[in-house]
Structure 1
Amino acid sequence: MTSMTEALQATPVPAASGPQTLHLMQPQDRARWDAFVRATPAANFFHLSGWQNVIERAFGNKTWFYYTQQDGQITGVLPLSQVKSKLFGNALGAMPFCVYGGPVATNDAALLLLDGAADALAKQLGVGHLEYRGMERFHPDDASWTTKELYVTFRKAISADDEENLNAIPRKQRAMVRKGIKLGLRGEVDNNVERLFAAYADSVHRLGTPVFPKKYFALLQQAFGAECEVRTIVTEDGRLVGSVMSFYWRDEVVPYYGGGTALAREVAGNDFMYWNLMQAAAAKGCRLFDFGRSKLGTGAYDFKKNWGFVAQPLPYEYKLYASPALPDNNPLNPKYALFIKVWKKLPLPVANFIGPYIVRNLG
């Protein structure tokens, strides 16, 4: 016969049922914000609280890090930032320069609160549109949200075996990797961003693209510590070939900002750089290589595809407010062709000085 004590012990404890509330993250909330992000499968590296300090200090953008809470526990997060310029318009959305971002919630009530906060803020700021960035749509059945085909991402599983990973690279690109190996290229991990910035600035200048401020890269390295690695490729005699900043997240590695010098083309430096990173990441236990997003029709898109990665559409979502249509802030847009042509002709020191003032208005 069951005793009263045993019966009480077997009775399920009622689930928490307090009201869900909306808040803006404060400095004292950062640790538990990040704990929620790390514990929630749908969250990603770009939801971490460190992005707030990076974006505000590097570019001066305003940010709002909303979270919902129930019975003292975070139930959802939504980092937002405003990008406002006369040239590119006024928008609110995921952190600028972050490929993924949007609301993450453990229940529908939390998602509604976060959506409501974003909607109210968009109206208050008078933005042209609100943007969420994800690998899947957040509101597939809501006609007030639209999407457009512009970006794709490239993600692929890797194994612990170098030979298996090398053989998975298509023959032509594999030959380029072997060329770099034969020429004695090597990778070195840097504790600063000096060589990364030199390689990246040189690379984007040749592409006709404004460069980020060096401060931005330094802040990323400072904010994310061991999860942010700078890997630099050099020749046997120490000449700079290229450098890449990567993020480590769970069992993934995300090469995020990379660039090669003019020498890289001669020595297959770019192919070797990503192979060297893949080797190092696999040795650390990473099992997914996220080559990041690219715009359709670009050289970066072709490079990743030639590595055997399959393009996965990124259905970013947009909600229009003050704008009648979405802006076409795309380097493939013909109206930017002259700008790109002129930018390539600027002396590198001049481009590096002006670039950060322009790029802060992008995102």
Structure 2
Amino acid sequence: MKTGQKANEVKTRFASSDDAAAWNDYVDSSSGHTYGHRWQWRDILRESFGVVPYYFLAETDGRIVGVLPTVFMKSMLFGKFLVSLPWLDYGGPLTDNPRISSLLVDKASSLAREKNCRFFEMRAIRDRLEGLVEKTDKFSFFLDLTKGEEAVWKSFNAKARNQVRKAVKLGLTAEVGGAELINNFYRIFSYNMRDLGTPVWPKSLFTEIFRRFGRDANIALVKLDNNPIAAGLIIHYRNYSGVPSASAYRKYINLCPNNLLYWAIIKYCIERGSRTFDFGRSSLGSGTYHFKKQWVKDPEKQIWQYHLYSIDNLPELNPNNPKFKTAIAVWRRLPLMLTNFLGPRIVTKIP
């Protein structure tokens, strides 16, 4: 021990690539961990978004006692941000106790100030930190898979079950595969995002996910006459499975492809041995919120916390902001090839 250094003193620092294995070991062994805390996202987001990752860790006597993943994002239109983490549903500190969380958040906040960020955002944190601004309009939908397929099926409301039956009766089929289905997935996903008026994430995001996670990722397809009409990305982490992205061609919605898609995914995850299935986050009152309520009766409120620096109100950089109404209407009319080119150059610069 160095002269003057106290036993059990908590020290914080930037993590480097040499810390990757120890970081993941800590995440694996910590209660409250999420797939978003895994080290691999540092490389996935850097390579696909072009962002600068800043991963913080806390140590006591050389032992990791807390981690905080963040990335620095910069946009000519919207400014600079520090986010934990973009695209993902989860982030924030994962630590042994609230005091360590505060130390890591303070260190990250100092970096955000140095870089003249407008705000520092932490998504779906587990332990509230005092003195921060909060957003509480988003919900997680967790489904308990431990009772088996029959019990899970009976837990859905009648409408959800009937729509699955309808899809099957109309000849829709489902399959689950791997990286070989990325092109099918992205074709549907990008088309749907254009129709929603939202810039699409880069295809490299999904190829990087498969490159870094391998068998911990899958793609599910729903087909009509052997033509894919709906698709979903599945990410696994230990006994957890979730779908962060899913889409269907809007012209086939009356065939209920999304219902069959999710049921096929849920059955696959039960067979895999997953204990929890995550439908992903949705904002209160949105269309996806009501869709997921058919499957999960009691969603869990997420808490997003913010340090605000050069702004006074919470950021609303999403399609629900009335300021973007005209831009969304224009985007929907653009050719798919153009939106696939421009979309990733826009969306990877905003949280």
Match of 1:202 in 2: 191
Q: Please, which of 119, 133, 141 is the counterpart of residue 123 of structure 2?
A: 133
Q: Determine the C-alpha separation between the residues in 2 that align with 1:154 and 1:188.
A: 22
Per-residue Cα deviation, 1:202-258 (whole angstroms, up to 9, x for no partner): 1111211111111111001111112121122223x4211211111112322111111
Match of 1:318 in 2: 306
Match of 2:212 in 1: 223
Q: How do 1:40-59 and structure 2 match up within 5 A?
A: 40-59=30-49
Q: Please, which of 132, 135, 141 is the counterpart of residue 148 of structure 1?
A: 135
Task: Evaluate the alpha carbon distance shift between residue 315 and residue 204 of structure 1 in structure 2; reply closer, same or farther with a 3 A threshold.
Answer: same
Greater alpha carbon shift after TM alignment, 31-40 vs 108-117: 108-117
Q: Determine the C-alpha separation between the residues in 2 that align with 1:336 and 1:70.
A: 47
Greater alpha carbon shift after TM alignment, 301-310 vs 272-281: 301-310
Matched, 1:301 2:289: yes
Q: Determine the C-alpha separation between the residues in 1 that align with 2:190 and 2:157.
A: 29
Matched, 1:337 2:347: no
* 1:319 to partner: Cα distance: 1.4
Match of 2:3 in 1: none
Q: Determine the C-alpha separation between the residues in 1 that align with 2:260 and 2:37.
A: 30
Match of 2:222 in 1: 233
Match of 2:347 in 1: 359
Q: Determine the C-alpha separation between the residues in 2 that align with 1:191 and 1:59.
A: 19
State the aligned residue count.
344
Q: How do 1:169-318 and structure 2 match up within 5 A?
A: 169-182=156-169, 183-192=171-180, 193-235=182-224, 237-262=225-250, 264-318=252-306
Structure 1: which amino acid aligns with 2:210? Q
Structure 1: which amino acid aligns with 2:196? L
* 1:67 to partner: Cα distance: 0.7
State percent identity of aligned pairs: 28
Q: Please, which of 64, 68, 79 is the counterpart of residue 89 of structure 1?
A: 79
**Quick check: 1:160–1:285 contact (8 Å CA) kept in 2?**
no
For the pair shown, which has the larger CA radius of gyration, 1 or 2? 1
Match of 1:5 in 2: none
Q: Determine the C-alpha separation between the residues in 1 that align with 2:275 and 2:253.
A: 29
**Quick check: 1:135–1:313 contact (8 Å CA) kept in 2?**
no
* 1:269 to partner: Cα distance: 0.9
* 1:184 to partner: Cα distance: 4.5
Task: Evaluate the alpha carbon distance shift between residue 333 and residue 312 of structure 1 in structure 2; reply closer, same or farther with a 3 A threshold.
Answer: same
* 1:188 to partner: Cα distance: 3.0
Q: Determine the C-alpha separation between the residues in 1 that align with 2:321 and 2:135.
A: 15
Unaligned runs of 5+ in 1: 1-15
Q: Determine the C-alpha separation between the residues in 1 that align with 2:346 and 2:162.
A: 38
Q: Determine the C-alpha separation between the residues in 2 that align with 1:203 and 1:82.
A: 28
Matched, 1:75 2:65: yes
Q: Determine the C-alpha separation between the residues in 2 that align with 1:254 and 1:71.
A: 36
* 1:31 to partner: Cα distance: 0.8
C-alpha RMSD of matched pairs (Å): 1.9
Task: Evaluate the alpha carbon distance shift between residue 161 and residue 43 of structure 1 in structure 2; reply closer, same or farther with a 3 A threshold.
Answer: closer
Structure 1: which amino acid aligns with 2:247? G
Q: Determine the C-alpha separation between the residues in 1 that align with 2:350 and 2:281.
A: 16
1:147 partner SS: strand
* 1:312 to partner: Cα distance: 2.1
* 1:109 to partner: Cα distance: 4.8
Query: TM-score scaled to structure 2, two decimals?
Result: 0.92
Structure 1: which amino acid aligns with 2:152? N
Match of 1:165 in 2: 152
Per-residue Cα deviation, 1:86-121 (whole angstroms, up to 9, x for no partner): 333322120211111111111355334312211211
1:345 partner SS: coil
Matched, 1:63 2:60: no
Structure 1: which amino acid aligns with 2:20? R
Per-residue Cα deviation, 1:104-146 (whole angstroms, up to 9, x for no partner): 111355334312211211211111111112254421xx23x01
Matched, 1:116 2:106: yes
Task: Evaluate the alpha carbon distance shift between residue 49 and residue 340 of structure 1 in structure 2; reply closer, same or farther with a 3 A threshold.
Answer: same
Query: TM-score scaled to structure 1, two decimals?
Result: 0.89
Per-residue Cα deviation, 1:3-42 (whole angstroms, up to 9, x for no partner): xxxxxxxxxxxxx934332222222211111010011012
Per-residue Cα deviation, 1:47-101 (whole angstroms, up to 9, x for no partner): 1111111111111111101111222211110011122223333221202111111
Q: Determine the C-alpha separation between the residues in 2 that align with 1:18 and 1:162.
A: 47
Task: Evaluate the alpha carbon distance shift between residue 75 and residue 159 of structure 1 in structure 2; reply closer, same or farther with a 3 A threshold.
Answer: closer
Q: Determine the C-alpha separation between the residues in 1 that align with 2:65 and 2:270.
A: 33
Per-residue Cα deviation, 1:324-363 (whole angstroms, up to 9, x for no partner): 2222223112111111111111111111111111111222
Match of 2:19 in 1: 29
Q: Determine the C-alpha separation between the residues in 2 that align with 1:326 and 1:186.
A: 41
